Amino acid sequence: MSDPSAGAWLRERLDSGYETMHGVVPRSFPAYARILHPAIVRSLPDRPVPTVDELVRMPAAEQRALLEGLHEEPASWAQAAAAFGTVLHPLAQWQRIVRAPGDGEAHTPIAPDGREFSSPMEGELETPLLTAVAEHLVDHTQTPDAGVVALWEGRGGLLGFFGISPSRSFVRFDDDPNHQAMLDRSTHDPFNNVFRKPSWQEGILSREISEGPRLELPGRGHVLFSVPPRTFADPDWMLHVPWRDLPAERHGFPPSAQSPSIIWPEDRSWVLVSEVDFDSTVVAGSAALINAICSDDRLEAFPIPSDADLSWGADAVNR
């Protein structure tokens, strides 16, 4: 774990409000790139994807047959814009791209051709994209083997804590009646929790780290780790970081680790920010770095100006 004071320079370059991206992305860098997180598109070969209400009203057999024929794959924002007849531009917002109503309610965006587009993941850059970005990052720092990673403390299961129930549980499905009986007991057990005393609930990180100091940025607390930026150029980076999710692996899940919230090298030549509420990642650095990222065909990335507004209502083109 790294000393939280290592991130004090970030706090000095952040705005106190969120009128622009500088509430979470530090100022005073020559250039900035916005990397769009991919969405998911679902389609059926011979009919539009049904809405949730339509699916619920279907007979179970029809539901199963429909879901078995459902095709799902990653989708770029450019593909979504083409499907909905909107314009992709550097400051575009997903809800505007898919013409979602502005009433605050959750809606399933279904394009005129019947395909369903699910929203991009917020706060995380998927491993293939992070690896692609990291290849450029290590080429634009003098310290690729020394740097810092910040993890937002609010991810479920990351930290241990004093409480009655764990922050997450692991459920497997099988035909063992004894196992099912245990699950049934576990389901009802929360009713008895009021009679228990709080105890330490284990998280992914150790108790020492879970109770340790944080880097406090506006509205966010982070745990810091000393990790070489070069680590993330390896597609198997999650095998080599101290926050690897070993508890999940012990329950049979494949290796995984939380995607970094912030990364910077020791020389502070750039910084990568995946804000938990953003469906894109911002990299701040030199003009050469930003040009390299935005020219990479593996990434859907655009240069953006300082003081860019990345809030939901900021897309003036697709209103």
Q: 59 phi and psi, to 5 degrees?
A: -60, 150
How confident is the model at residue 91, as a pLDDT? 97
Q: For the chain, how far is it from start to end, CA to CA, in angstroms?
A: 45
Note the pTM of the prediction, 2 decimals: 0.84
Tell me the chain's radius of gyration from C-alpha atoms. 22
Question: If we measure between CA atoms, which residue out of 303, 301, 299 comes closest to residue 128?
Answer: 299
**By CB neighbour count within 10 A (0-12 exposed, 13-18 middle, 19+ buried), where does 229 fall?**
buried
Q: Give dist(CA 293, CA 303) in Å, integer.
A: 9
Q: Is the dihedral of CA 301, 304, 307, 308 positive or negative?
A: negative
- What is the number of residues in the chain? 319
CB 140 within 8 A of CB 264: no
How confident is the model at residue 2, as a pLDDT? 75
Question: If we measure between CA atoms, which residue out of 206, 209, 203, 215 comes closest to residue 149?
Answer: 215
Q: Give dist(CA 136, CA 133) in Å, integer.
A: 5
Which positions of the chain have pLDDT values less than 70? Answer: 1, 44-52, 54-55, 61-69, 102-107, 165-196
How confident is the model at residue 75, as a pLDDT? 96
How confident is the model at residue 74, as a pLDDT? 93
CB 31 within 8 A of CB 285: yes
How confident is the model at residue 197, as a pLDDT? 78
How confident is the model at residue 61, as a pLDDT? 63
Q: Give dist(CA 256, CA 258) in Å, integer.
A: 7
Q: Which two tokens stand for residue 138?
A: 């290590």
Q: Give dist(CA 294, CA 292) in Å, integer.
A: 6
The amino acid present at 231, given as its one-letter code, is T
CB 273 within 8 A of CB 255: no
